[in-house]
Structure 1
Amino acid sequence: MKPQEPPFDLSLAFARQREACAAAPFPNWAERADRLQRLRRLLADHETEISRAIDEDFGGRPAIETELAEIWPSLEEVKGALRHGRRWMKPRRAGVGKWFLPARGHVLPQPLGVVGIIVPWNYPLYLGVGPVAAALAAGNRAMVKMSEFTPAFSALFQQLCAKAFSPEEVCIVTGAADVAAQFSALPFDHLLFTGSTAVGRKVMAAAAANLTPVTLELGGKSPAIVTPGYPLDHAVQRILAGKLLNAGQTCIAPDYVLLPRAALSAFVEAARAQARRGYPGGLADPHYCSIINDGQYRRLARDVDEAATRGTRIEALFDGAPRDDARRRLAPTLLVDPPVDCAAMRDEIFGPVLPLVPYDRVEDAIAFVNARPRPLALYWFDRDAARTENALQAMPAGGVTVNDTLLHIAQESLPFGGVGASGMGHYHGQWGFDTFSKLKPVFRQSRLNGMALFLPPYRPAMRRLLALMKRF
């Protein structure tokens, strides 16, 4: 009989990483690049296994979507860190006050130590690898808690990382909510969580006990706003592309659409044509994704049913039955002018359900967004440059794509993160490197300096000099 393995000890794993940091607090670029290269090879060499595992967890996720939305952007993050990491880690010149010359100043990016990363189920590869790449480029060790809702991929990723890294470099943790609670209570040097606002509150509370700084990438109601005169077919195409990727199970998917009242019927017809053009097989189309589990599927169906009972016009965009319970597939569904207090308008949808909210003036649309918690993403469709600039200034949001959807997240040079209820902090590219570094200020005093003039006992000459300094 095979002996039972002892339970995984989170505290021991953390202690080992902390000891490794103490032994090598500032890895050189060769060491960091070696870790990043191993991460890159892990991705490049195991694409097929990764896609199959994620497909198994979802009960049907197109391999091309995994390649497009997970493998490719993960490789881009790692390759970007390899291209630029040596420059990012160099001391950065900084000036000193004129009264302190000829002293010098600089900023030294110092590795924080042990970084904790909590990964959600919707993009389990990309939302794990992206932060890990930033943490490794910054010279840290990483502990990664995978979602219990992606057991096949979590087990595979744990196995692959165990072969590519020592547990003192990268440690992958699996388990249910109790393990996640223990994980978030560890005294990390920084903790990054991606997930729901409700769980984010718990993570932040646990981190507060250790004064652990947190980056929270949450969700919320991300609006798409179509302005009068914008080509409706183009807006529909790009909004549905952002909404139906991963069957809407995307934190920055358009959550609802604000559009001119007169355009409602035309939007519905254009959306029906676009959905059937993009997925000619309907619910059986091989490029359409299933909902991750029964609980999420039932929640989405319940939200649609609630809106219907309250008089909302429901428009399923595929031919035939709007649901396939056995495969957990829900047809793209429009909720036309739903009550603002129904579940689909209160809570993040996270599925292929799209409310359409009419407005009479653009100012009303902006006020509608600003009356609600600040969104993680904002999508503005407009050909008027001046009106666009006004909208960008008027509506706080975590990130914005103008005349398209989702694409701001794919830009290495742009920070990704939320604001207010949609999160705090950011990462991607150098922004991630800086998040996982202490930008340590260093002041280098010159041999010739006037500090002796300001030492006690304080003399009249010092007072006269101080008066002169205050004037200039």
Structure 2
Amino acid sequence: MGLINQFEQLNNAFLSQPFLPIQTRINLLKTIKKRLIENEQQLVAAASKDFGYRTSFDTVLGDLLPTVKAISDTIKRLPKWTRNESRSVGISLWPSHAHIQYQPKGVVGVIAPWNYPIQLSLVPVISALAAGNRVMLKLSEFTPHTNAQLTEIFKDELANHCFVVEGGPDIAAAFSDIPFAHLLFTGSTSVGRKVMQSASQHLTPVTLELGGKSPVVVLDDVNIKAVARTLLFGKLNNAGQICVAPDYVFVPKNLEHQLIQQLCELYKQHYQQGVEGKNLTSIISDAHFARLSSYVEDAQAKGAQLFTAHEENTADELKHRMGLHILTQVSDDMKVMQEEIFGPILPIMSYDSLSQVTTYINGRPHPLALYIFGHDSTVISDLSAAIRSGTLAINDVLMQVTADQLPFGGIGESGMGHYHGIEGFKTFSHARNTLVSGKFNPRTSMLLKQNKLLIKLLKWMYLRQ
């Protein structure tokens, strides 16, 4: 069945039942949750095959559990989210009353990435189904084994509410051209521009979850070992293939050497076998491994200094595996400082004053995440106010994304719009302005008269509000 036929089938189903009962939506979510739990081992094995090797930790903790948690939280809160939301109309519209009614939009399109093929596919689908929509889900061509498992999950009754689509760039381009009621894309900024351009032909509203270069700012009052431990987790989790992974670090000059030393020591402690260890996920493909290697080679050729914790076992081209690579003395003409890294390479830059830091970060596209390590509340407040970013975490990394009741989204080139929690429900709903007037409504008769006394009364009512 072609994409347009699939869309029309779902759209006809939506039109035949444009407001799905809340309990039906909850039952759909419960079915997804049940099948995810039942197929945990198959999903872990499938993701590992897709990556060449992926730790069960990265799949269970990064993909499965956040998705199951999001479903549970949505089921719990959905009855409250769907209630009409009362709003004041003021004296000028008395005796009428008003509310917002959240309506499903129709058929929603979701284009998912490869780096978290379960979570980043299903969490937006969960929000869209919770809002009462039908969904078409485009999965990444880089994760065929995981896709097969997800397709199996969306069978039987679920297939009447969510179609799963696979294919490469041509299919993705055709998918973006479909006149969806809403389209959510997660991926690179460059592809996001193309998706938005295609969607604009139908005036389809879009949510873009992109990425960019997420900076880390280390203040001078930190425990540098604690900072290094947190950064190591953020940079090695899923081999750094995360849209909110720390991309580069600003550290005071007097702490730079200590930070590098602690990162190397902690890496050797936790990844004793380097790329031969079973606790390090592989880079998704040969092409992405080659891209990351070229970043390191380009940086070194232009004067950067490379630090690796192990003299050997730092990379394996055949298995496309890469350990921690620290770069110092980096400059803006290096590819590693121009492109989102999306891998276990960490540029470190020293600074003398925080004004250097804010000037540098604000001179570039707004990042999806900003990380600040420090304990001076005044300095942290000033920094967070001076730098705009999609998300912010203080003395932590990555974990802000797992806060289900906080909206997740970028700003500028790092994204547009939000989802997660109630924001996800609202993103995929139309907030309909509803005014209710009863039998007693003298307002219309008064307005028809258009006399001077009425004008004076209206001015008094509007200007005093």
Which category of TM-score, normalised to the shorter sequence, fits these structures?
A: over 0.9
The alpha-carbon deviation at position 274 of structure 1 amounts to 1.1
CA contact (8 A) 1:222 1:252 kept: yes
Residues 358-367 or 378-387, more deviating: 358-367
Contact 1:193 1:203 in 2 (8 A): yes
Give the secondary structure class of the aligned counterpart of 2:27. helix
Deviations 1:96-137 (A, max 9, x none): 122212211111110111110000010010001100111111
SS in 2 for 1:165: helix
Post-superposition offset of 1:182: 0.6
- Alpha-carbon distance in 1 for matches of 2:242, 2:305: 25
Aligned to 2:310: 318
Q: For 2:99, what is the secondary structure of its paired residue?
A: strand
Aligned to 1:79: 72
Spell out the pairing of 1:168-317 with structure 2 (5 A cutoff).
168-317=160-309
> Post-superposition shift, 1:331?
1.6
Deviation, structure 1 residue 42: 1.5
Query: How does the TM-score come out when normalised to structure 1?
Result: 0.96
Q: Compare 79-88 and 148-157 and name the one that shifted more.
A: 148-157
Q: Is the 8 A contact 1:104 1:446 kept in 2?
A: no
1:151 maps to what in 2? 144
Structure-2 separation of matches of 1:319 and 1:462? 86
8 Å contact kept, 1:334–1:353: yes
Q: SS of the counterpart of 1:250?
A: coil
| Aligned partner (choices 53, 64, 88) of residue 81 of structure 2 | 88
Equivalent AA in structure 2 for residue 52 of structure 1? A
2:388 matches 1:399: no
Q: Give yes or no for contact 2:51–2:282 (8 Å, CA) kept in 1.
A: yes
Structure 2 residue runs without a partner (length 5+): none
1:134 aligns with one of 127, 135, 151:
127
Q: Report SS of the residue matched to 2:409.
A: coil
Offset, 1:413: 1.1
Amino acid aligned to 1:38:
T
Q: 1:51 to 1:449 in 2, by over 3 A?
A: same
Residues 39 and 164 in structure 1, CA contact (< 8 A), matched pair in contact too: no
Aligned to 1:380: 372
Q: 1:50 aligns with which of 22, 43, 46?
A: 43
Letter of the 2:84 counterpart: P
Matched to 2:86, the amino acid is: R
Match of 2:15 among 4, 14, 22: 22
Which residue of structure 1 lines up, in the alignment, with residue 154 of structure 2?
Answer: 161
* Aligned 8 A contact 1:282 1:319 in 2: no
Query: 2:149 matched to 1:118?
Result: no
What is the CA–CA distance in structure 1 between the aligned matches of 2:72 and 2:95, rounded to whole Å?
40
Partners of 1:247 and 1:52 in 2: how far apart?
17
Alignment partners' CA distance in 2, 1:468 and 1:405: 53
State yes or no: 1:416 paired with 2:408. Answer: yes
Match of 1:333 in 2: 325
Task: State, as a whole percentage, how many aligned pairs show the same letter.
Answer: 36
Structure 1 residues 18 and 471: alpha-carbon distance in aligned structure 2, compared to 1, 3 A threshold:
closer
Structure 1 counterpart of 2:53: 60
Q: For residue 402 of structure 1, what is the amino acid of its counterpart?
A: I
Looking at structure 2, the residues matched to 57 and 461 of structure 1 have their Cα atoms a distance apart, in angstroms, of: 75
What is the Cα deviation at residue 454 of structure 1?
Answer: 4.3
Q: What amino acid is aligned across from residue 24 of structure 2 in structure 1?
A: E
Native 8 Å contact 1:43 1:75 kept in 2: yes
Kindly state the Cα deviation for residue 263 of structure 1 after the two structures are TM-superposed.
1.4
Q: Give, in angstroms, the shift of residue 318 of structure 1.
A: 2.8
1:41 to 2:34 alignment: yes
1:101–1:121 distance in 2 versus 1, CA, 3 Å: same
Structure 1: distance between partners of 2:462 and 2:67: 52
Q: Distance in 1 between matches of 2:3 and 2:39?
A: 27
Between the aligned partners of 1:248 and 1:79, the Cα distance in structure 2 is 28
User: What is the Cα deviation at residue 288 of structure 1?
Assistant: 0.2
- The answer on whether the counterparts of 1:317 and 1:332 sit within 8 Å (CA) in structure 2 is yes
Q: Give the whole-Å Cα distance in 1 for the aligned partners of 2:301 and 2:275.
A: 24
SS at match of 1:223: strand
- CA distance in 2: counterparts of 1:393 and 1:306, whole angstroms: 35
Query: Structure 1 pair 83/445, CA: closer, same or farther in 2 (3 Å)?
Result: same
1:9 equivalent in structure 2:
2
Aligned to 2:420: 428
Structure 1: distance between partners of 2:208 and 2:326: 30
Q: Choose which of 100, 107, 111 in structure 1 pairs with 2:100.
A: 107
CA distance in 2, matches of 1:288, 1:438: 43
Where 2:103 maps in the other structure, the secondary structure is strand
Structure 1: runs of 5 or more not aligned: 1-7
CA–CA separation in structure 2 for the residues paired with 1:263 and 1:277 = 21
Distance 2:18 2:408 in 1: 27
How far 1:455 moved relative to its partner?
3.3
Contact 2:276 2:313 in 1 (8 A): no
Partner of 1:371: 363
> Are the aligned partners of 1:283 and 1:318 in contact in 2 as well (CA < 8 Å)?
no
Does the CA-based 8 Å contact 1:244-1:352 persist in structure 2?
Answer: yes
Cα distance in structure 2, aligned partners of 1:62 and 1:466: 68
SS of match in other structure, 1:75: helix
Q: Which amino acid aligns with 1:25?
A: P
1:469 aligned residue = 461
Residues 238-294 of structure 1: per-residue CA shift (max 9 Å, x gap): 111111100000000000001111211111110001111221221111010110001
Corresponding letter in the other structure for 1:139? G
